[in-house]
Each structure stands twice: as C-alpha cells, then as structure tokens.
Structure 1
C-alpha cells in the first residue's frame, strides 16, 4: 500500500483525461522503480481511495497498462508489475523480411491483415516503382505481431506483374516472392521518427502521441528494377534500428 501513496496529487502532474493521467503516473513509478517487476498492486478500491478517483477511472488506467504489457493480471492473485519488454534490434544492412527477423529471435511472426488487393497506383507509388498510371499495384497493409504482440504497421506496394495475386501472400511476403523468383537482393531504407496518430496508436496498443520509427524501404531485383516500396511504422518502445559501418583506413 505504501508504495503507491506517492500517487496522490497525480492529477496536477499530468495532462489529459483523468484515467490517462493516472496511467502516466503509474508508468512514472515503474520507470523510476518505485514499482518494480513482480510488485503487486493494491486493490482497485484501495487505489481509488488513495488517489481520490473513482474505481472506473482506476480500472481504465490499469486496463490500458495491462494491454500495453506494463502490468499483468493473474487470476485469483491480483495485478502485478510485468517484466520489462525486451527491445528488438532490426538490422539495416540486409534486406530481410519481418518473418525472418522474428524467426531469428526465436519468436513467432503473424499478421492481422488490414488490406490486400490490387489498385491503380498513387503518384508516390508510381515514382518509387517507376510505373505508368495504367499499371496496377498490389497493396498489402497489415499489423505485424511477434508472439501475438503488435510491433509494427506495414504498408507494402508491388507492381501487379510481380505480385498479380496479393491474396496469395500468407505470413511472409519475401517467401512468396522467392516462389515467384522475384525476391529482391538489395534495398535502400530511409528512417525518420514521428508521433503516432490515434488510429496507429490504437492498432499498436500504445498511447496516442507515442513516438514511432518510420522506415521507407525500396527493394530492387538484381537487374536494378525497383519492385517493392514498403512503409513500416515500428513501436519505438520495442525496436532499435541498427546499422553496421565499415571504417576504412585513415
């Protein structure tokens, strides 16, 4: 009980709806280790009395923290501070698929499809892939998950002559391209940081306004033809993008 007494007055330390302020206060306690891995939270009633808010507010804050993995509920035992999430390193030196990256870490990759169909290309897609306006593209939009947890939003575009049937892509796009003898051999990636929109944050299971890592990749065949333009938005709290450099002689 004494571990959360310091939450009193949280309303004045944070902005936003009341439950989000309480959520941020809990996150600060966990970050500064005033609440540590394995610590049990008091009951919702006790928290509401200490903080001077309704149990509904407490429940919403705790539900959000459980959804993000900061807290874990154990049936019959209570709510506890979860183990910190292990960050994942994404190498930028080779053109690998998300499925391959997860398999290398011993994790199971899966997807929640948001869109998978043929469209007329946008001007940006035409420029990235060197297409004319009459040629269709396959668009693959999906939420990527690792061991069931959302980690990235991926939007891939390919010429329809390379991928005529987007519905044929299952877990791995690159595995399907290998079957079609059209797997890219190199890629150029551009990285930036930006804040997530409310829709993106909802899909990724993080707070609105959280930071994300945006990566735009254009992949090429050995012939030099650009065949894939993919924009991926990674959760900033889970991913580190790593580049290796070769240092030449002075």
Structure 2
C-alpha cells in the first residue's frame, strides 16, 4: 500500500489543507490505477499514524470521496475503492434480456447466484402467475454483472411448468427458455426510484443510502399467459432508461 499511497510524503505535498491533500492523493491513486476497484484502504487509524495527521482529518477526506462515489464503506469490512461505471442507456420499447443487452454493448454479461430453486408460491405469485393450487414457482435471485462489475440485483419468478429446473440456468434465462421454444412476446414494466437496503448496497458496491431504479416486469407468452414476473434493481449511477414517444393523432 505504500507504493499506492505514499502517506509519509503527505505533509510535504502541495494542495491546501491536510484533508484535501489526502483526498487528492487517494483520488490520484484511483485515477492512475495504483488503487483498483475492490481494493481496501488501510484503516483510518493506520492512515492517520502513517501520515502523522488526526483521524478527524482522515475521516473528512474519506467522507468526501464516499460522497463522490469513489469509495464505499462496508459495515464490518472497511472502506473500498469503487471503479467509476460508464453510464448505459436502455430503451423501453424493446423487450430484451440483460445478457442480450450487455452483449449488444460489447460487454461480457455474468451472474452471481444468490438463490434459486422451486418453492411454494406466495399469494401474490399465485395470483399474478395464475398458478393452480398445487403448482410451485421457480425463483431466481442473482447479482447481474457486466465485465465483472455489479450492475443490477434481479429477482424473477416463473411457473414450474415453464421452468422446471432452475438449477439448469447458467447465465441467460431467455436463451435457455428459447431452446424450449418459450419466448416472451410482450411485457408491462413499472419503473420507480427506491432507496437500497444496506445489504443491497454492499452487493452492488455503492454507498449506503444509494438510490436505484426499480424495474418491475410482467412478461406474457403469445397466448396471453403470464410467463414471468421480475423485479430488477439497477444502479442509478450506471443506468438511464430511455423511451421514445410519439404524438398521437
């Protein structure tokens, strides 16, 4: 860490007050690549001792960088570097999967599975999916990534006759379904802004209290049957949702 952050040289550095010198040093280390996404900063006490400054000074510098989104605090773990995410736009007039959307941008989609399997449906799932009394529901909960960067938290429910083996899904749900000639033909989406829970911010690698775009989707087969209900929480610092509007006659 001494090579990435030469804290012993902080007192002699230019740049105004000590907290600003420290902030600039950390920021430059991130921009130059000496500190990379996911790297942990030393504890505030260790930084203060190495730079011969107060912990109050260290806390102010780190607070500013957390507010900028360059660092994130994770409860019980420490402070980590967050690599800036390029903003992406998703149009709302085309039904695509996350994997297809990322590949179209030249990015590599990925998933980290948080939970999946067959379960007894909730009353809401029974009603929305139109399930019979003895039917079960396939649930998929995963962290979606693009070029290994966390982008969205996705929770999906499907009838068990449409997805009888959730464990068989590797990456793209829609691709796996299309191999069985099951394809969504239309969908209704509801979009709103939400505040992320603490555990959600940790998974997405964003500061506590961050907002996200919640996209709730109900997808239909060509028969009109509901095939999927899902909720995806997209990082608001990475995603813009765009719709094309026309003037009605």
Q: Give the count of matched residue pairs.
A: 213
**Residue 46 of structure 1: CA displacement?**
8.8
1:172-191 matches, cutoff 5 A: 172-191=172-191
**Residue 224 of structure 1: CA displacement?**
0.7
Where does residue 116 of structure 1 map in the other structure?
A: 116
Where does residue 101 of structure 2 map in the other structure?
A: 101
Secondary structure, counterpart of 1:219 in structure 2: strand
1:80-229 matches, cutoff 5 A: 84-229=84-229
Q: Determine which of 3, 18, 39 is the counterpart of 2:15.
A: 3
> What runs of 5+ residues in structure 1 fail to find an aligned partner?
9-21, 72-80
**Residue 178 of structure 1: CA displacement?**
0.3
What's the TM-score, normalizing by structure 1? 0.73
C-alpha distance in structure 1 between counterparts of 2:155 and 2:83, whole Å: 31
C-alpha distance in structure 2 between counterparts of 1:82 and 1:115, whole Å: 25
Q: Determine which of 52, 55, 67 is the counterpart of 1:53.
A: 55
Q: What is the CA RMSD across the aligned residues, in angstroms?
A: 3.6
**Distance change in 2, residues 1:142/1:84 (3 Å):** closer
Runs of 4 or more above 6 Å deviation: none
Kept in 2, the 8 Å contact 1:155–1:232? The answer is yes
Secondary structure, counterpart of 1:3 in structure 2: coil
C-alpha distance in structure 1 between counterparts of 2:216 and 2:94, whole Å: 14
Secondary structure, counterpart of 1:95 in structure 2: coil
> What runs of 5+ residues in structure 2 fail to find an aligned partner?
1-12, 36-41, 72-80
Residues 174-209 of structure 1 show CA distances to partners (whole Å, capped at 9, x for unaligned) of 001101111101110001111110110111111111
1:27-46 matches, cutoff 5 A: 37-38=31-32, 44=47
Kept in 1, the 8 Å contact 2:137–2:159? The answer is yes
C-alpha distance in structure 1 between counterparts of 2:90 and 2:240, whole Å: 6
Secondary structure, counterpart of 2:183 in structure 1: coil
C-alpha distance in structure 1 between counterparts of 2:116 and 2:33, whole Å: 44
**Residue 53 of structure 1: CA displacement?**
1.1
C-alpha distance in structure 2 between counterparts of 1:231 and 1:140, whole Å: 11
C-alpha distance in structure 1 between counterparts of 2:110 and 2:18, whole Å: 41
What's the TM-score, normalizing by structure 2? 0.73
**Residue 69 of structure 1: CA displacement?**
7.9
